[in-house]
Amino acid sequence: MPVYRMTKTVDGQRKERTIRLDWQGDPERLDALYWECQTGRHERQQTPSAYTWKALVVAWRTDPRVQSKLADGTKRSYRREMDALLIKNAGKDVRKTTRQGLRKVHAALADTPRKADWRIQIVSLLWNYGKLKADWPLGDNPATGIDLYGVQNPFEPWPEWMVEKLIDAPENVRTTAELIMGSGQRPSAAIEMKWEDFKADRMTVLDEKQDERFDVHCPDGLRAYLDTLPKRGAHVLAKNLREPLGYDAVERPFRKWRTGLGPKAKPYSLHGLRKLAIIRLAEAGWSDAEIQAATNQSPETVAYYRRKANRLTLTRSAHERRT
The verdict on 35 and 84 lying in the same domain is: no
Structural domain includes residue 312: no
> Rg for the chain (alpha carbons), in Å?
24
Is the same domain home to 168 and 96?
A: no
Last residue of a domain, one of 133, 151, 171: 133
Residues 27 and 57 in one domain: no
Q: What is the pLDDT along the chain (323 residues), one digit of tens a residue?
A: 898 888 877 777 888 889 889 889 898 999 999 898 888 888 777 666 789 999 999 999 999 999 999 887 788 889 989 999 999 999 999 999 999 999 999 998 887 788 899 999 999 999 999 999 999 999 999 999 999 887 566 788 999 999 999 999 999 999 999 999 998 888 888 999 999 999 989 999 887 666 678 888 898 999 999 999 999 999 999 999 999 998 888 989 999 999 999 999 999 999 899 889 888 888 777 788 878 776 777 788 888 888 877 665 655 555 555 55
Half-sphere exposure of 260 (CA within 13 A, CB side): 11
Element (H, E) at 199: strand 198-199
Q: Looking at the structure, do residues 167 and 256 belong to the same domain, yes or no? A: yes
Residues 180 and 254 in one domain: yes
Asked if residue 162 lies in contact with residue 174, where contact means CB atoms within 8 angstroms, the answer is: no
> Is residue 67 domain-shared with residue 167, that is, in the same domain?
no
| CA distance linking residue 270 with residue 250, whole number of Å | 10
Closest CA to 269 of 183, 168, 170, 154: 154
Question: Are 167 and 260 members of one domain?
Answer: yes
Q: The domain containing residue 18 runs over which residues? A: 3-45
In this structure, the answer to whether residues 181 and 199 fall within a common structural domain is: yes
Residue 80 lies in a domain: yes
Residue 305 lies in a domain: no
Query: What pLDDT, on the 0 to 100 scale, is given for residue 153?
Result: 66
pTM above 0.95, yes or no: no
Q: Are residues 231 and 213 in the same domain?
A: yes
Q: Where are the alpha helices (DSSP H) in the chain?
A: 27-38, 53-61, 64-67, 72-89, 99-108, 113-128, 160-164, 171-183, 187-191, 220-226, 247-260, 271-283, 288-295, 299-322
Residues 21 and 73 in one domain: no
Separation CA 236–CA 61 (nearest Å): 44
Domain count, the chain: 3
Of 235, 250, 272, which closes a domain? 272
Whether 75 and 97 share a structural domain: yes
Same domain, 77 and 111: yes
